[in-house]
Amino acid sequence: MKTTLRSGLLVLTLSLAGASAQADVTVYTAGPAGLAKALAVDFTAQSGIKVNLYQATTGKVMARLKAEESNPQADVLISASWDTATSFAKQGLLLPYTSPNAAKVPDFLKTDTAVAQGAAALAIAWNPKSGTPKPEDWSDLAKPAYKSMVTMPDPAQSGSAFELVAALSGAGQDALFGDLASNGALVAGANKAALNPVLQGAKAAVFGAVDYIALGAKAKGEAIDVIFPKSGTVVAPRPMMILKSTKNAEDAKKFIDFVLSEKGQEEVAKTYLMPARTDIKALRPTITELNLLPGDDAVYAKRGAILDSFAKAFGK
């Protein structure tokens, strides 16, 4: 009896010691709320490590990080813009880490301090009930048939919209923005603000919709088609990073490993994002199936000039 009691107390003591040593991991994410919650629940179930989750827009996430500079709280950051990973790395804010599960992630979606959770592409989101002809390319939305029927995310508020504007400008299509403005296109704020009027039938199409949001809406029965323009588009990877200020690096690494595991990447695919890993089945067209516009690694250094040019085209 005494031996059994001692054994039980020893197991309890070891369990409590293990629990007290097991720290939580804090994740700040500018991504789909449903995906963030699913990954957190699955990771905790697998590892026993609790996830403190903060999910918001990119602007709100960055504002919170800024406010907490003197007392950092986040261990892992997931951004909606690859520029965050580039900028934070240059500032020395990131902890180098290469997950073993990143072996099947293409090189352009990973660095020594960041790796993509998944990726979206920019597309035309068109309401087939709008009475307008189905567009095939970006320039179609500047035609008379779409007069005052097009919305567009503001590139000053949406990182993905900025990258599309920059890529089209780099491809010599600056005049397109003036044509859109003359045709009554509405620059409607962030991504959802541009999509909602099209889903509601008040407008016909979004120029530069984040595709996974529109694809998810279509899967739920909304009247929306997602069209990838034949002249090319851009991909918007969503980088995951471990902040150098973390006090819990090992559990942060385990979280990155989990997101890049088969189960984690299957959760990413369910949201209609492209999984970062090439061996995970996607529910939508992937990079190999899209015509991509040439990229420019220095595009964010030209951000001010590009936004100024865009604003002038729309008379702002």
Confidence check: pLDDT of 4 > 70:
no
CB atoms within 10 A of CB 245: 16
Q: What pLDDT score was predicted for residue 9?
A: 36
Q: Matching CATH topology for 2-119+236-284 and 120-235+291-313? A: yes
pLDDT digit string, tens, across residues 130-164: 999 999 999 999 999 999 999 999 998 888 899 89
Region 98-119 average pLDDT: 97
For 275-280, which contacts have Cβ atoms below 8 Å and span 24 or more sequence positions?
Answer: 275/118, 276/102, 276/105, 276/109, 276/110, 276/115, 276/116, 276/117, 276/118, 276/119, 276/237, 277/101, 277/104, 277/105, 278/104, 278/105, 278/106, 279/104
Q: Taking phi first (over 0 means left), then psi (-120 to 50 degrees means alpha), and beta for anything else, what does residue 315 get? A: left
Please give the structure tokens belonging to residue 204. Answer: 């016909």
Tell me the two tokens of residue 145.
């048939």
Rounded Cα gap, residues 294 and 254, in angstroms: 35
Q: Which helix (H) or strand (E) holds 117?
A: strand 115-126
Radius of gyration of the chain measured on its C-alpha atoms:
22
Q: How far is CA 195 from CA 90, 92, 131, 173, 282, in A?
A: 34, 36, 17, 23, 23
Give the integer Cα–Cα distance in Å for 165 and 142. 15
The whole-angstrom separation of Cα 235 and Cα 294 is: 11
Domain segments of the chain as ranges: 2-119+236-284, 120-235+291-313
Which residues are paired to 55 by β-bridges?
A: 29
Under CATH, which number does the domain 2-119+236-284 receive? 3.40.190.10
Residue 305 · residue 177 · CB < 8 Å: no
Determine phi and psi for 234, rounding to 5 degrees.
Answer: -125, 155
For residues 183 and 252, what is the distance between their CA atoms, to the nearest angstrom? 49
Highest mean pLDDT (candidates 3-12, 18-27, 193-202): 193-202
Start-to-end C-alpha separation, the chain: 83
Residues 6+ apart with CB under 8 A from 194: 151, 152, 153, 188, 206, 208, 209
- Per-residue pLDDT band for 22 (boundaries 50, 70, 90) equals low
Name which of 291, 287, 304, 310 is nearest 169 in CA terms: 310
Kind plus residue range of the DSSP H or E element containing 27: strand 25-29
Give CA–CA dist 271/274, Å, rounded: 9
Nearest to residue 254, comparing CAs of 267, 244, 264? Answer: 264
Q: Which of 51, 46, 42, 45 is nearest to 78 (CA)?
A: 51
Q: Reply yes or no on whether the pLDDT at 10 is more than 50.
A: no
DSSP string, 148-217: T-EEE--TTT-HHHHHHHHHHHHTT-THHHHHHHHTT-EE-SSHHHHHHHHHTTSSSEEEEEEHHHHHHH
Structure-token match 């990182």, residue found: 159
pTM: 0.85
Residue 29 pLDDT greater than 80, yes or no: yes
Q: Indicate the CATH number for domain 120-235+291-313.
A: 3.40.190.10
- Rounded to the nearest integer, the mean pLDDT of the chain is 91
Q: Could you read off the pLDDT of 51-71 as tens digits, one per residue?
A: 999 998 888 899 999 999 999
Asked if residue 315 has pLDDT above 90, the reply is: no
Q: How far apart are CA 295 and CA 164, in angstroms?
A: 10
